[in-house]
Amino acid sequence: MLFEKDDRITVWQAARKQPVQRNRVLKEPVVPIASDQDVKKEVDALALGRKIRFRRRSRGLTLQNVSDLTGLSKSLLSQIENDVIAPPLATLIRISKALGVTIGYFFRETEPNQRISVVRRDDHPVNGQGLVHKSSPGGYTYVSLARPIARRHMEPFLVSFDPVDDDKLNYYTHPGEEFLHVTEGRLEFIGADQRIELAAGDSIYFDSGIPHALRSIEGAPSRALVVIYASDH
């Protein structure tokens, strides 16, 4: 989907500036729980877990090895490898780093040397197709927008965020940076003791090492273009 100074967050809002308020102390990142059956079918179609297992075994690593490298439990890793749950982006980045690849490795669908990628509108989950992954109930779904490109430095996603109560918010963290541009609805960014409201047309760029959460405040899912740069450090 970490504790740095407030000035590490930069916000550009095209429509208007939103008031910033202090937030409560952030809790530790929460591990997502299993998704519903419809989402599981999409996870099975991508074979994400099988790709992770293949990569792990090809590097001669055990589940315990990957657990030690990522800080994730063997139980969680096993569920991911067996496509029981779909990992949120922050978790997938931690796994990819332990396996010596970028997260793009798990989404590629064509030849690794392809240099141009086109993802048509009909491939998006908005139209009932595409590869959708749901983190936790009340969390978010995401689809990769650059699946054919294997060796890439940016990871673009189309993300749909659900409305979530404060006590059910999941906070995520990973090395790198993120850019988010709201395309539909209204979102709230929570991180570094700040709450920032973002309307359609607004953008935010932030250090993803900050424990952060995002949710729709529209009473219905809100959508955004999210671009992730995962640092090697």
pLDDT in tens, 170-229: 888 888 899 999 999 999 999 989 999 999 999 999 999 999 999 999 889 999 999 998
Better-scored residue on pLDDT, 31 or 60: 60
What's the pLDDT tens digit per position in 14-53? 334 444 443 433 333 333 333 445 555 555 666 788 889 9
Residue 65 — very low, low, confident or very high, per pLDDT cuts 50/70/90? very high
- Delineate the domains of the chain, giving CATH numbers in brackets: 6-230 (2.60.120.10)
**10: pLDDT strictly greater than 60:** no
Note the pLDDT of residue 178: 95
The predicted pLDDT at position 48 comes to: 80
Query: Three-state SS string across the chain, please?
Result: CCCCCHHHEEEEECCCCCCCEECCCCCCCCCCCCCCHHHHHHHHHHCHHHHHHHHHHHCCCCHHHHHHHHCCCHHHHHHHHCCCCCCCHHHHHHHHHHCCCCCHHHHCCCCCCCCCCCCCHHHCHHHCCCCCEECCCCCEEEEECCCCCCCCCCEEEEEEECECCHHHCCCECCCEEEEEEEEECEEEEEECCEEEEEECCEEEEEECCCCEEEEECCCCCEEEEEEEEECCC
Tell whether the model's pLDDT for residue 89 goes beyond 60: yes
For residue 105, what pLDDT band results from cuts at 50, 70 and 90? confident
Tens digit of pLDDT for each residue in 127-182? 443 445 555 555 678 887 876 666 678 889 888 998 988 888 888 888 889 999 99
Please tell me the pTM assigned to this model.
0.60
